[in-house]
Chain A
Amino acid sequence: MSSSGWAREALAVLAKDVRSEYRTRYAFSSVLLFAVTALAVVSFSVSPYSLDADVQAAFLWIVLFFSAMMGLSRSFVREEEARTAMALRLTTAPEAVYMGKLMFNIALQVAVAAVVVPLFLVLMDIAPAHPGLLVGVTLLGTLALASSSTIIAAIVSRANAKGAIFAVLAFPVTLPGLSSAIRATIAALRGAAGSGSGPAAGAAGDLRALAAYSVLMITSSLLLFDFVWDD
């Protein structure tokens, strides 16, 4: 199939998922509720203390990671549970399904991060040293989380104990991306760590690692998705 054919199909899958999500709030509500609740509980419990940037960054990515674990698996699990996957298999190229779901998961996770990160800064009373870097890290980290979670969600959707397996499988796969995101977030909150000049110099390696990780995950997922999606 031509690349324009794939792109058209992938955009149709994305539009369908966005419309479904808008009607049901299936993933967004549960993810946002978890993220806001976790942020509120921790900020109230640690409010008397001044946390180090290392702890703050780790905490932010723990919330974003588990938000992704809650929400991003739904895109595939729901197709299997609602028995709509067969119609999708009959009509849509596997690569287009993957790309459509990936774009939806990126959009969902960016929307969650757009609420969670500002709320995190307010509740934890943090003024980031480099706000631009924090935005960049959040976007790249979100891309890394979505790219790894999407293929794992496709694998998990064919299993029985979907929820439990997802987090267990996702953790080791997302760990390299997650650790880079945490280190770059520390640099954004505290100031440039490491050598070089300019705010992003210390985090540049981690940002490159995040971008490389995402490209690797998306490329390998496109190659493997056919085997995961078909019987």
Chain B
Amino acid sequence: MLGPAERHGGFELTIDSVSKLYGARRVLRDVAARAVAGQVLVIAGPNGSGKSTLVKVIARLIRPTDGRVLWKLDGRALPATDAKRVVGMVSPDLTLYDELSAIENLRFFAQVRGLSSGPELAYSLLDRFGLAGRGRDPVGAYSSGMKQRLKYAFALMHDPPLLLLDEPTANLDERGITLVHDAIAQARPSKCIVIATNEPEEVRLGDVIIRLGA
């Protein structure tokens, strides 16, 4: 875990001339942007324009064909292996274990992230995202909206300095959307937030906006 003193404040994300090709198909062309803690970077664009790919490149889950993504904390570059501490991510491509309960999922990810406050943290996060009382149910029995809420608990449990939200309100009801917007507002002062979306209300949150496929 990052120490309290080095959390958030000095975090900086740089997307440096990133291009990505899948075979002959170019998905991203020379994308560049910079955002720091306290800012929201919005990635907007039509379906298939490469929003999700760019989010994964920023998470350093996939390598760009050209260019690079840099994470810096207080001016010090962080390696991709720090992803478990740096990145909190919600994405349609990210799924938790259906056969495990929500509590078991969160406890497992707390263990591998090296968090000491596993069970208490899991219960408080479930409560925060409106899943209190359903923590012992298998995730496979959850609705798509409940699974989306659980992904927020997964993404925020380690208090990451970089929060990546790909389609942040997908599958959510009105109450869920409010919870997510509250979570973004709460995280905004201390984290660098990246949102890939086409929702006008969410695009307006952006301090920095990347428009793909424009």
Q: Which of A83-108 contact B (CB under 8 A)?
A: 83-84, 86-87, 89-93, 96
Stretch of A17-25, A33-41, A167-175 on the interface side: A17-25
Tell me which residues from 78 to 102 in chain B have a Cβ below 8 Å from any Cβ of chain A. Answer: 80-81, 83-84, 87, 89, 91, 93-100
Tell me which residues across on chain B come within 8 A of A93, comparing CB atoms.
Answer: 81, 84
Q: How far is the CA of A22 from the CA of B214 in the complex (A)?
A: 50
| Known A24-B99, A90-B61; contact A83-B94, beta-carbon cutoff 8 A | yes
For A5, list chain B residues within 8 Å (CB): 114
Partner of A86, one of B93, B112, B113: B93
B63 touches A231 (CB 8 A): yes
| Contact between chains at A16 and B84 (CB < 8 Å) | no
Interface size on B, residues (CB 8 A): 28
Contacts of B77 in A (CB 8 A): none
Q: Which A residues touch B91, using CB under 8 A?
A: 86
Binds A, one of B3-11, B103-111, B127-135: B103-111
Please state if A84 and B95 are interface contacts (CB–CB under 8 Å): yes
For the complex, is A8 an interface residue (Cβ under 8 Å from B)? yes
B113 touches A91 (CB 8 A): yes
With both beta carbons as reference points, the residue of chain A lying nearest to B99 in the complex is identified as: A23
Q: CB < 8 Å: which of B94, B95, B99, B114 contacts A8?
A: B114
| B61 and A231 contact, CB distance less than 8 A | yes
The answer on a CB contact under 8 Å between A16 and B93 is no
Q: Contact check, B100 vs A9: say whether CB atoms are below 8 A apart.
A: no
A92 touches B84 (CB 8 A): yes
Q: Which of chain B's residues have a CB closer than 8 A to the CB of A201?
A: none
Say yes or no: is B165 at the interface (Cβ < 8 Å to chain A): no
A19 CB contacts on chain B under 8 angstroms: 99-100, 104
* B residues 111-140 touching A (CB-CB < 8 Å): 111-114, 138
**B81: nearest residue on chain A (CB-CB)?**
A93
Bound complex: CA A19 to CA B101 (Å): 11
- Could you pull out 25 A-B pairs where Cβ atoms are within 8 angstroms? A1-B81, A5-B114, A8-B111, A9-B111, A9-B112, A12-B111, A15-B108, A16-B108, A20-B97, A20-B100, A23-B99, A23-B100, A24-B99, A82-B98, A83-B95, A86-B89, A86-B91, A87-B154, A89-B83, A90-B83, A90-B84, A90-B89, A91-B83, A92-B112, A96-B112
